[in-house]
Amino acid sequence: MPIHPDIQTYNDAQSPTDKQICDTLAKSISRHLPNAECKIWHRHPVWFLDGNPIVGYSKLKDSVRLLFWSGQSFDEPGLQPEGSFKAAEARFTSKGEINAKDLKRWLQRSIEIQWDYKNIVKRKGKLVRLKPPG
């Protein structure tokens, strides 16, 4: 599956090592979330299901951060809590650090477990768990 042109432009702007990480993440996310909308959101690649942010990545000073908005609820090794809501992250400094089986499993969990970030402002900062699709 080809990488969305805007996301490819983001990836191409990274160093060669970070570009490899970003391209690997983008291809895997797109393959395992075929029904997700992807775009550059707040200057970073993000994938959405029904308008709800699910997963994205961003270049940090020393790594590429893969962020799952509902990741703290996945109960998955390899993901660390991030922020004050339900997000969790993994950080990579080389393509070889990305475990394809873990990434596939995390992406599957991102479909099954979602908190409603789309309506967080409307709910005045309160997160509500969405029912799994289907």
Q: What is the mean pLDDT of the chain?
A: 93
Residue 51: pLDDT band by 50, 70, 90 thresholds?
A: very high
The answer to pTM > 0.75 is yes
Q: Which of 43-47, 57-61, 73-77, 82-86 has the lowest mean pLDDT?
A: 82-86
pLDDT score recorded for residue 128: 82
Strands (E), the chain: 37-41, 44-49, 52-59, 64-68, 80-81, 88-92, 114-115, 129-130
- Going by the DSSP 8-state scheme, the letter that residue 2 receives in this structure is P
Between CA 29 and CA 55 the distance in angstroms is 8
Nearest to 57 by CA among 94, 29, 17: 29
Domains and CATH numbers, the chain: 5-130 (3.90.1150.200)
Tokens of 39: 């775009």
What SS3 class is residue 108? Answer: helix
Q: What is the pLDDT of residues 78-134, one digit of tens each?
A: 999 998 789 999 999 999 999 999 999 999 999 999 988 888 778 887 788 887 655
